[in-house]
Structure 1
């Protein structure tokens, strides 16, 4: 598997690292105490959430935060206390991110509680998307093109991201593998079918993109070890207004919130992957060498 690719697009910008919205709530309500932004991710064992106390003075900042953050795995009752980290944003403002040592389990539900020293609290919960069945079809050949269909079962909405990776043999013992990761977009993104999601892996067409990703010439001698596909899916509650992750819309108070006694949103993402190998004949047909061939 390639290295974890962080959600650096709209999710991260909106839900975690946005520094300019320090005072999300323009007014103070007696029964709302914190803004919580973030998501739980099965691809890492260190989670992060942004926590913002609702203040009486707009623009007020502090070197500390009066908040204890606990996560509870509802199926088992296991709890984790998260640790605060004060961070500086690019605009000069500061805020707090809490980090928790937790790798969420697909299908499990987690509750986050943020508690003030006087007992006031805000909370939110999310269910990790369960792992679907994945089917990889036999390769198909159409004139000069070779492609394969990958089907993820039980995908109720368009996924956040579809990625294809090609793993090649490295050139040195210290770098045994080379991974070219391609994010499929537009027509290559795939489509809903039979209650799931289907993407077509363009094995021949991707060769130029692979060369660009690895910064090598298109006719470079590459030994292909395997091919993989990864679909990143959010939890069922994470469906933005109009289906678009628009930061300017989502940061407005109450627009998109599942936090009790507060503002913000807690979501979850899971990555569903499949990895496979090609026959020597197909590997050579799409322009690569097969491990152990004379070209290695």
Structure 2
């Protein structure tokens, strides 16, 4: 899912479609039925990147095609580096499993891009089994999933000296092993400690394991050539635009890490 956002945020790769009448917006991200807030990256392809915070020319809406519930997304300008900005739009509209949604970006003159997203059904709660013997790895067991979109360790770091907190994630989906019943992922209980061993004077808290199931339209982006993904018509489900949006249902369970504070 991070790959989707990283390509949508690369302004230089989208410059070739700036002067056109076929691609209006880039829309990228995912709708998660288990999340309280949804975030979608939207870029107006025919405008220069806005660094003033005045907003892009357009209204972004999210509609539940099952019951007609609709919300207008709020915009937030993010700065990722000195010259790289992007708008992430958010809403707290409820996302229901087994429902279909449409995201529409409409310009003031009526030109628009849209994408239709199907949300997969829920699934059985994953289970984490600690190591059975000293020196062994624990394992995360995931059952009842066909398309595994994401598996990661998520936690928060509080820097005691600077006084701020950051959300952190360690991807573990590459370690997935398929079985007849589903998947399992070996995870050492000190995985967070290994990833943060160079940090000093920090507190680690809210440690959890995150698993996301995607629908039938899931594309395994890590296995696709990055140059193909970057092309306007390479991998996209956006009408009159570029980008890719998927629907997921996720689960979060506690990760009993030895480095995690209560």
> Does the TM-score normalized on the shorter chain lie above 0.5?
yes
Larger Rg over CA atoms: 1
1:40 and 2:30 are equivalent in the alignment: yes
Deviation by residue 1:70-121 (Cα, 9 ceiling, x = unmatched):
1102233111112445667757476x62523225525232201122334333
Structure 1: distance between partners of 2:225 and 2:27: 14
Taking only aligned residues, the RMSD between alpha carbons, in angstroms, comes to: 4.6
Q: 1:122 to 1:109 in 2, by over 3 A?
A: same
- Aligned match for 1:102, one of 44, 69, 92: 92
Q: Equivalent residue of 1:11, what SS?
A: helix
Change (3 A) 1:214 1:41: farther
Following superposition, the deviation at residue 265 of structure 1 comes to: 2.1
Change (3 A) 1:212 1:251: same
- The 8 Å contact of residues 14 and 232 in structure 2, kept in 1 or not, is answered as no
CA distance in 2, matches of 1:85, 1:164: 23
Which residue is equivalent to 1:114?
A: 105
Is the Cα–Cα contact under 8 Å of residues 164 and 201 in structure 1 kept in the other structure?
no
Give the match for residue 271 of structure 1.
250
Alignment of 1:167-182 (within 5 A): 182=170
Deviations 1:230-274 (A, max 9, x none): 22444432305673372x321211111111233322234443222
1:152 is aligned to 142
Task: Output the CA distance in 2 between the equivalents of 1:89 and 1:183.
Answer: 21
**What corresponds to 2:5 in structure 1?**
12
* Structure 1 length-normalised TM: 0.63
Deviation track 1:194-223 (CA, whole Å, cap 9, x = no partner) reads 2522112323x648527727648xxxxx9x
Structure 2 residue corresponding to 1:256, chosen from 188, 210, 235: 235
**What does 1:46-65 correspond to in 2, within 5 Å?**
46-53=38-45, 55=46, 65=56
Residue 67 of structure 2 aligns to a residue in which SS?
coil
Q: 1:34 Cα deviation (Å)?
A: 1.4
User: 3-state DSSP class of the match of 2:17?
Assistant: coil
SS in 1 for 2:132: strand
Gaps of 5+ in 2: none
Unaligned segments of structure 1, at least 5 residues: 1-6, 217-221, 278-282, 292-296
* Aligned position for 2:218: 238
Contact preservation (8 Å) 1:151, 1:198: yes
Q: Could you tell me how far apart the structure 1 residues matched to 2:241 and 2:206 are?
A: 47
Q: Are residues 140 and 101 of structure 1, via their aligned partners in 2, closer, same or farther at CA, if it must alter by over 3 Å?
A: closer
Name the SS for the 2:197 alignment partner: helix
Q: Is the 8 A contact 2:147 2:214 kept in 1?
A: no
Contact 2:151 2:209 in 1 (8 A): no
The answer as to whether partners of 2:150 and 2:173 remain within 8 angstroms in 1 is: no
- Which residue is 1:161 aligned to? 151
Provide the aligned length of Structure 1 versus Structure 2.
Answer: 251
